[in-house]
Amino acid sequence: MSKLRKLNRTALYMRLSRDDEKAGESMSIENQRAILRKFVSENDGAITDEYIDDGWSGTDFDRPGVKRLLDDAKGGKIDTIVVKDLSRFGRNYIQVGQYIDYIFPAYGIRFIALSDNVDTADRTSAGMDMMPIMNVFNEWHAANTSKKIRAVLEANWRQGRCTNWAYPYGYKAGTDENRTAVIDEPAAKVVRRIYDMRLQGNSACAIARALTDEGIPTPAAYYTRLDGKKANRRSSPWWSPKTVADILKDTTYTGTLTQHRTTRFSYKNHKVLNVPESERIVRENAHEAIIDRQTWDKVQAINNSVSRGRHDKANMVHPLSGLLICPDCGKKLKGKSGGRDRIYMYCCRTYVDLGKRYCTSHSITEKQIESIVLQDIRSMLGRVEIDEERAKEHFFKERAKCGERNRLSDEKRLHSFNDRLAELDKLIQSAFEEKVLGNLPESMCKSLFEKYQVEKESAQRQINMLEEQIAAVNEMDAEVEEYIAQLKRYANCEELTREMCLQLIEFITIGERPSDDTPREIHIYYKFISYQTLAEYRGQTTK
């Protein structure tokens, strides 16, 4: 071998991906090492170092082994790189070509791929001529493998098999074929407490602070204790509001398995993208629920409420904090203690921040507004118990104003379309019978069949739409029943609580105090009724 072809300061590069492991021992790191060492030994070469990327895809060039290899090449520590074949170095034909044709020659590096007969010391060889084609084929193999993996994953998702590498806090992997989530009771107990605290009106920040103060391990710390392994990612030992907020909106806790939440841009670009909710694969009742649906719905209603609630200096959230709104400027009323007696009261935020040129104070003491709200709820309880049917009738009337269909009209139309669908089936059958008997020409039979089929498809679409609308109305029945049940549940309350306010009230507008004897306008907007006051059931306006 000439001096040019001697293997001085040789680097051995080896790579194995998760997919390559399925190919068996022939692709293993040990097998690659044996082949490369034998080649260097037979050519009287000297090995400087070995560079290994175990478990890395060939389409990803952000690999630690490749990075270290390039750094040593730039530093002049090596002058030859040997790999088993081109696919071990990479499966991105653009980047592989860039390294072999531009980067390595710039640093005087010789590149050898044994199985593909590629040696940059001999640019005229057949292996070098075939190199671009082999790089393209290697990338095609990566693309094809990626496509197959996605198809297998989707098939597993459709069959209800959990492919997530980790389970939400409160669950662990089951031992069955589908890896069905199983409740991890110590963690599930914390999850239930988080939901209970949210129902009581505590914010995510307050919940995180309470869990941290009590020394409850975070999800990351909890799992570390279970498997005894140190987490690769550095994590905080304290609960964060984001961790709590994520738990409070995860549908997994209701027994719902949601997969395909994220995807990669492509097999080459590994940027993670969120999948739209409409394209995710959802399976109801896939495992045992930690949180019942009723509790879940209440918590989501609180999360979506206009109220965010602020802590005062005593670290307390007042019952109506964040629920009071100025009807003139639309800003929320700010709570503060003032005056000689340090009375807690609410004032328009615009007035507090910018002064009376921009809005008036709309001030009201906490004691006054809480008394008005509590009295209004109590006054309605007896009325609702006596006249629930009228309350329900008003509920549906208000929903109809917001675009809901009349239930009776929809049911009548649904019945009519079902009758017509049955008639069309009879007409189609009759047309075929007449054709068979020779009483109807084939061309006319075909024409009638196409006409009936078009009408049948149209009728079926209308039936589907009406059934969805009727189902939505039935859901409204459940909503108003739940609302009345909530009112009855709070019938004996002696004072307003944060939980009560978040469950019943959407928001309250506080009008300015009039200079004359005109009643002050305070409108309480309750949930479920399209922001119409329950007081209007009695034909009154809350003052």
Give residue-wise pLDDT tens across range 303-319. Answer: 776 666 666 666 677 88
Structure tokens at 379: 């006054």
Q: What span, in angstroms and rounded, lies between the C-alpha atoms of 122 and 99?
A: 17
User: pLDDT tens digits for 139-191?
Assistant: 666 666 666 667 777 777 677 777 776 788 988 888 887 788 889 999 999 99
Q: In the prediction, which pLDDT does 406 show? A: 56
pLDDT greater than 50 at residue 539: no
Structure tokens at 9: 């300061």
Say what percent of the chain tops pLDDT 90: 10
Q: In the prediction, which pLDDT does 478 show? A: 63
Q: In the prediction, which pLDDT does 426 show? A: 84
pLDDT greater than 90 at residue 106: no
DSSP one-letter string for 293-342:
HHHHHHHHHHHTSS----B-TTS-B-TTTTTEE-TTT-PBEEEEEETTTT
Give me the residues paired with residue 510 across strands: 522
Q: Which of 9-18, 467-476, 500-509 is predicted least confidently?
A: 467-476
- Side chain identity at residue 407, one-letter code: R
Q: In the prediction, which pLDDT does 541 show? A: 39
pLDDT greater than 50 at residue 403: no
Dihedral Cα 28, 32, 35, 38, nearest 10 deg: -120
Half-sphere exposure (Cβ direction) of 470: Cα atoms closer than 13 Å: 14
Q: What is the mean pLDDT of the chain?
A: 77
- Side chain identity at residue 311, one-letter code: H
Categorise residue 438: left if φ over 0, alpha if ψ from -120 to 50, beta otherwise. Answer: left
Task: Provide the pLDDT confidence category of residue 49 given band limits of 50, 70 and 90.
Answer: very high
Q: In the prediction, which pLDDT does 3 show? A: 41
- Determine what percent of the chain falls in helix, strand and coil, rounding each to the nearest 5: 50, 15, 35
Task: Provide the pLDDT confidence category of residue 540 given band limits of 50, 70 and 90.
Answer: very low
Q: What is the mean pLDDT of residues 330-341?
A: 80
User: If you ran DSSP here, which 8-state letter would residue 278 be given?
Assistant: G
Q: In the prediction, which pLDDT does 59 show? A: 79
Contacts of 278 (CB under 8 A, 6+ apart): none
Dihedral Cα 438, 441, 444, 449, nearest 10 deg: 40
User: pLDDT tens digits for 14-28?
Assistant: 998 866 555 555 568
Q: In the prediction, which pLDDT does 534 show? A: 36
Q: In the prediction, which pLDDT does 5 show? A: 58
Dihedral Cα 242, 248, 252, 256, nearest 10 deg: -140
Q: What span, in angstroms and rounded, lies between the C-alpha atoms of 29 and 84?
A: 10
pLDDT greater than 70 at residue 517: yes
Q: Parallel, antiparallel, or unpaired: how do β-strands 47-54 and 10-16 relate?
A: parallel
Residue 350 in contact with residue 327, Cβ under 8 Å?
no
Q: What span, in angstroms and rounded, lies between the C-alpha atoms of 464 and 472?
A: 12
pLDDT greater than 50 at residue 1: no
Based on DSSP, count helices (H) and strands (E) in the chain, helices before strands.
Answer: 17, 17
- Side chain identity at residue 73, one-letter code: A
pLDDT greater than 80 at residue 295: yes
Q: What is the mean pLDDT of residues 324-336?
A: 88
- Side chain identity at residue 144, one-letter code: N
Task: Provide the pLDDT confidence category of residue 243 given band limits of 50, 70 and 90.
Answer: very high
Structure tokens at 209: 């602070």
Q: In the prediction, which pLDDT does 248 show? A: 92
User: pLDDT tens digits for 425-483?
Assistant: 888 888 777 777 777 787 787 787 788 888 888 888 888 877 776 666 555 566 666 65
Say what percent of the chain tops pLDDT 70: 74
